């Protein structure tokens, strides 16, 4: 266990779970909400059903305000 923790802190990129373009394409197909590319940039998956539901909920809240 100690070796595992030590290896994580010696290579912080493992903590970010950076994704290749292929991984991103698979994540979009798997309906994941947030994608992080190899450069560390976060992107919202606009094809995710949950993202569409969140957006609709926020729009409806703004309409009521």
Token readout for 10 is 């010696």
- Reduced to 3 states (helix: H, G, I; strand: E, B; else coil), residue 32 is coil
Instruction: Give CB contacts under 8 A, 24+ apart, made by 6-13.
Output: none
The 10s digit of each residue's pLDDT in 1-50 is: 445 444 545 555 554 555 667 777 787 788 888 887 777 788 888 888 99
Residue that has been written with the tokens 């912080």 in this structure: 12
**What predicted TM-score, i.e. pTM, was given to this entire model?**
0.54
């Amino acid at each position: 266990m100690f070796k595992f923790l030590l290896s994580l802190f010696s290579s912080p990129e493992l903590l970010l779970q950076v994704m290749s373009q292929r991984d991103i394409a698979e994540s979009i197909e798997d309906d994941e909400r947030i994608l992080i590319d190899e450069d560390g940039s976060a992107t919202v998956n606009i094809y995710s059903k949950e993202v569409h539901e969140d957006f609709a909920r926020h729009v409806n809240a703004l309409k009521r305000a």
